[in-house]
């Protein structure tokens, strides 16, 4: 039995979670925040909800979304109005969904791991890997909003080998994140693209965990 009927949540239950048209419940927003922070810390990847009405959809939005999908020639992309898992209720259960179209940037295995350990169900519709569902949208996640408390294991370290290796480092800047390759022996850094970062990361290069202050970069002032 769901708390509300599909697409009929009162505004008092909803908070903004992305752009102004992207809203969800407080508990789901908390889970989403944990997911984003976990992804940033663990993989240097920042998930975002697909631009557009891809969080909670009230009934009228579901009508529009269905019309849009059919107009694209793929009615199956959107549920019949009143039956979407974006509507706060799905098959009799409370449910809040998000679409995360750029999940390929991090790959399926990592996306699935990140989503599941932060309370989201993935793969509900096999044709929509980007669609994640929170089936407890009115229950605050354990540990609240502090992603440090998600219980994820610390990144492995291999002390003693690191001076022979290049390291990956991520620092913030006003436009987002900057990614670097560090050569500890030369005390040198080189900025790299996010794509190259992902290639090196997937190849198993050691990385400095999380997003670190720019002062870290100052310790490697040379370039190479």
Which residues have CB under 8 Å from 167's CB, separation 6+?
Answer: 181, 182, 184, 205, 206, 207, 208
Q: Residue 145 in 3-state DSSP?
A: coil
Strands (E) located in 48-107 = 88-90, 93-99
> Number of helices (H) and strands (E), helices first, in the chain?
5, 11
Answer yes or no whether residue 57 interacts with Zn ion by CB under 5 A.
no
Cβ proximity to Zn ion: between 108 and 224 the closer is: 108
Answer yes or no whether residue 66 interacts with Zn ion by CB under 5 A.
no
Tell me the window of 96-104, 114-122, 171-179, 184-192 that interacts with Zn ion (CB under 5 A): 96-104
Cβ proximity to Zn ion: between 66 and 131 the closer is: 131
Binding mask 115-134 for Zn ion (x = CB under 5 A): ----------------x---
Closest approach of Cβ 69 to Zn ion, in Å?
Answer: 11
Q: What are phi and psi of 63, to 5 degrees?
A: -60, -45
Answer yes or no whether residue 99 interacts with Zn ion by CB under 5 A.
yes
Tell me the window of 17-25, 90-98, 111-119, 146-154 that interacts with Zn ion (CB under 5 A): 90-98
Closest approach of Cβ 22 to Zn ion, in Å?
Answer: 12
CB 86 within 8 A of CB 97: yes
Residues that bind Zn ion (CB under 5 A): 97, 99, 131
């Amino acid at each position: 039995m769901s708390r509300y009927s599909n697409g009929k949540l009162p505004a008092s239950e909803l908070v903004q979670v992305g752009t102004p048209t992207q809203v969800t419940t407080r508990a789901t927003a908390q889970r989403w925040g944990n997911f984003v922070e976990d992804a940033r810390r663990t993989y240097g990847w920042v998930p975002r909800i697909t631009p557009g009405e891809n969080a909670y959809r009230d009934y009228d939005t579901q009508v529009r979304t269905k019309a849009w999908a059919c107009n694209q020639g793929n009615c199956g992309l959107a549920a019949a109005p009143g039956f979407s898992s974006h509507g706060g209720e799905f098959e009799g259960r409370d449910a809040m969904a998000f679409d995360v179209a750029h999940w390929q940037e991090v790959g399926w295995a990592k996306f699935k791991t990140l989503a599941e350990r932060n309370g989201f169900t993935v793969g509900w519709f096999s044709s929509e890997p980007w669609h994640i569902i929170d089936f407890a949208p009115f229950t605050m996640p354990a540990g609240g909003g502090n992603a440090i408390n998600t219980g994820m294991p610390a990144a492995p370290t291999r002390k003693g080998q690191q001076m022979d290796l290049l390291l990956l480092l991520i620092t913030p800047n006003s436009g987002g994140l900057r990614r670097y390759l560090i050569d500890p022996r030369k005390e040198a850094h080189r900025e790299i693209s996010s794509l190259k970062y992902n290639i090196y990361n997937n190849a198993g290069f050691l990385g400095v965990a999380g997003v670190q202050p720019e002062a870290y970069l100052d310790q490697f002032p040379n370039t190479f």
